[in-house]
């Protein structure tokens, strides 16, 4: 037998190759199981509406220590999702959903949002990451840029929705995330959040255009628990509300373009 041969048919190189194959198969199995920690089990869209895990099955719950204290268990066996306020228009898998209520309020389709933690996103130092400039006094608007505070917010048809009262800053990335808009409602003044990426600022005319929703729909923008901070769940709800407006704000947007 040659050097390294164990028998006439097996040698060390073959064993090393077989060991690598076994290791690689185990690695693929481990990674495919770990990527099912969130988002699983899936709900089948078929008539049975059963639960789908696929292969490999979901991993056992694991506890993670969070950076700023606390723990999180995933998969979380106690986690429940709110009922979906929509029904499929057909019995075949993948059929479109038809809202059963107000889709922008119910979080259906483009207005949907993730059930994220109802706590603010934090900076490395442990402070609220997105706050108004009345809190983050170290930030200011450059003299060469238009200051949106005091500008009038115009909705889809050019109707006035409110007036910008403050700017919300992302402390970690030093960018504007939201504008705080004051509305005049029947029950008094109310402030709501307007994502900056849904706006077009006209500094010359001192106005801000918003094409996502109508003026009266500003009154139903999801509210904040704390007037000086915004939670991860609130961010998703607000972004979903304005995103859903591009489809649901007016009846003309629901039909085909042609």
Give the pLDDT confidence score for residue 30 in this predicted structure: 95
What does the alpha-carbon distance between residue 194 and residue 181 come to, in Å, rounded to a whole number?
Answer: 7
Decide if 57-111 and 130-253 have a common fold.
no
Query: Which of these, 238, 247, 124, 255, lies nearest to 179 by C-alpha position?
Result: 238
Q: What is the pLDDT of residues 160-196, one digit of tens each?
A: 999 999 999 999 999 999 999 999 877 778 999 999 9
pLDDT value for 93: 76
The highest-level CATH class for domain 130-253 is alpha beta
Cα–Cα dist 78/48, whole Å: 23
Rounded to two decimals, what is the model's pTM? 0.82
- pLDDT at site 191: 95
Count other C-beta atoms under 10 Å from residue 183's C-beta.
19
Architecture in CATH of 57-111: Irregular (4.10)
Indicate the burial class of 11 (C-beta count within 10 angstroms; 0-12, 13-18, 19 or more).
middle
Domains in the chain: boundaries: 57-111, 130-253
How far is the CA of 67 from the CAs of 103, 123, 124, in angstroms? 36, 10, 9
Write out pLDDT tens, residues 230-245.
Answer: 999 999 999 999 999 9
In this predicted structure, what is the pLDDT of residue 258?
60
| Amino acid 133: pLDDT | 96
In this prediction, the residues of the chain whose per-residue pLDDT falls under 50 are none
| Cβ within 8 Å of residue 153, ≥6 positions away | 160, 161, 162, 163, 164, 179, 181, 194, 199, 207, 208, 210, 218
């Amino acid at each position: 037998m040659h050097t390294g041969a164990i028998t006439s048919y097996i040698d060390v190189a073959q064993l090393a190759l077989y060991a690598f194959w076994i290791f690689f198969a185990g690695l693929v199995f481990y990674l495919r199981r770990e990527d099912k920690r969130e988002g699983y089990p899936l709900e089948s869209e078929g008539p049975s509406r059963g639960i789908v895990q696929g292969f490999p099955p979901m991993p056992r719950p694991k506890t993670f220590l969070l950076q700023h204290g606390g723990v999180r268990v995933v998969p979380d066996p106690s986690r429940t999702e709110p009922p979906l306020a929509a029904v499929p228009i057909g019995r075949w898998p993948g059929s479109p959903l038809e809202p059963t209520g107000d889709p922008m309020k119910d979080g259906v389709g483009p207005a949907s949002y993730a059930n994220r933690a109802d706590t603010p996103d934090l900076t490395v130092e442990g402070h609220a990451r997105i706050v108004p400039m009345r809190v983050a006094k170290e930030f200011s608007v450059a003299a060469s840029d238009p200051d949106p505070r005091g500008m009038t917010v115009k909705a889809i048809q050019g109707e006035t929705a409110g007036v910008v009262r403050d700017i919300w800053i992302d402390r970690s990335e030093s960018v504007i995330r939201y504008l705080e808009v004051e509305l005049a409602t029947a029950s008094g003044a109310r402030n709501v959040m307007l994502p900056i990426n849904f706006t077009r600022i006209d500094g010359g005319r001192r106005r801000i255009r918003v094409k996502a929703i109508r003026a009266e729909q500003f009154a139903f923008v999801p509210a904040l628990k704390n007037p000086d901070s915004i939670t991860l769940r609130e961010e998703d709800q607000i972004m979903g509300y304005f995103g859903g407006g591009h489809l649901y704000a007016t009846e003309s947007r629901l039909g085909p373009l042609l």
